[in-house]
Structure 1
């Protein structure tokens, strides 16, 4: 049966059950103990929904039930043959094929002119500080993992996050510098938009379109 492959938590569940049968609470604890909740959005309610969906599609099946003391009975799930094929095929596809993702920061950048330039610079400087802190924390976690003897293979996603953090930090730092010193192309035009804004801070869209058209024509015509 064709199914969506849009939820990484479903991939995580299949990967765990590929190792051994587990009940959902054990899945949740295992993901947290291994730090995989840093890479996969995890909450207990959605985990149960994912398991139910995987069972519906024949990728996992109830293997047994167990009870500890006075706790409610828990269902232990196992991966099916179809699930085993699915997790390998899904993971292979993710590794092989780049896809367009939609990060929230990219969305924010696409609407950057909505804010006055000075406000944008101030906020981006705060982002630089936050990125530096996250980078330091991630470096500490990786150093701790190395100290315990954990093979890098099991923290490779953190190495990838570190590479993304470095790239984003370089980009934002450069953007802040050029916006701040006025060398970013079009920043003067951006300032004029907000200088002419109404009392509520909103910009006249017609004036923006006319100004942008004039700017493009001036660039094309050269000095």
Structure 2
């Protein structure tokens, strides 16, 4: 079973910056770009904090108010929370599961779309990936150029998470470019003729 990413990352930030309030947990994860490479929705951070408190994994450290700002509750990791975090992190570290790519199904259905539309979609995909990759590469360098102190900015190890995301994106970009080239050159041509069902493609059944 996959480790609940939001739960694990919220616990990690509480552990790193405790005592810390929800706004700073959210801001820290956004500075890591966890909303992109971990698909964490910013609004889900507060829900995760409530759940973690209910489960006894974090506890209220204090409630304070600065000037005219609303009251803010700060949290600390409990002993049970530290144990839970260690277990989730260990499971995540040893995981080798690959995510099911949503584009796999679309690729298998190329023959059911017009050739020109597939080409246009691949070109659009390539442009999008090129922009995203340039952004990730800049962010990696920006983080590594900083102090790495989580009080000041994203810590250096976040650059490795961004690099992993960039490497996956780079592989997808390379595949998209190669596939577009193969279609445009005629090497990959799955459109002429009817699609034969598997039962007609297979040889006679063994007796």
The bucket for the TM-score relative to the shorter chain is: 0.7 to 0.9
- Is there any run of 5+ residues in structure 1 with no aligned partner, and where? 194-207
The structure-2 alpha-carbon separation of the partners of 1:43 and 1:101, relative to structure 1 and needing over 3 Å to count, comes to closer
* 1:216 counterpart residue number: 201
Residues 61, 80 of structure 1: 8 Å contact kept:
yes
* 2:23 counterpart residue number: 25
Partner SS, residue 15 of structure 1: helix
* 2:103 counterpart residue number: 105
Give the CA RMSD over aligned residues. 2.7
TM-score (norm 1): 0.75
Deviation at 1:56, TM superposition (A): 2.1
Deviation at 1:44, TM superposition (A): 4.5
Partner SS, residue 193 of structure 2: helix
Alpha-carbon deviations, 1:112-157, whole Å to 9, x = none? 3331222112211221122122222222222333444658533101
* 1:131 counterpart residue number: 129
* 1:170 counterpart residue number: 174
Deviation at 1:28, TM superposition (A): 0.9
The structure-2 alpha-carbon separation of the partners of 1:145 and 1:56, relative to structure 1 and needing over 3 Å to count, comes to closer
Choose between structure 1 and 2 for higher RCO, CA contacts under 8 A separated by at least 6 residues: 2
Establish whether residue 12 from structure 1 lines up as the match of residue 19 from structure 2. no
Partner SS, residue 75 of structure 2: strand
The structure-2 alpha-carbon separation of the partners of 1:108 and 1:53, relative to structure 1 and needing over 3 Å to count, comes to farther
Deviation at 1:70, TM superposition (A): 2.8
Residues 116, 191 of structure 1: 8 Å contact kept:
no
Larger radius of gyration: 1
* 1:205 counterpart residue number: none
- Measure, in 2, the Cα distance between the counterparts of 1:100 and 1:164: 11
Alpha-carbon deviations, 1:172-213, whole Å to 9, x = none? 1111122222222x61xx3435xxxxxxxxxxxxxx4xx244
- Is there any run of 5+ residues in structure 2 with no aligned partner, and where? 149-154
Partner SS, residue 20 of structure 2: coil
Residues 57, 77 of structure 2: 8 Å contact kept:
yes
Establish whether residue 154 from structure 1 lines up as the match of residue 158 from structure 2. yes
Total equivalences in the alignment: 197
TM-score (norm 2): 0.80
- Measure, in 2, the Cα distance between the counterparts of 1:45 and 1:154: 21
Deviation at 1:24, TM superposition (A): 0.8
Identify the structure with the greater helix proportion: 1
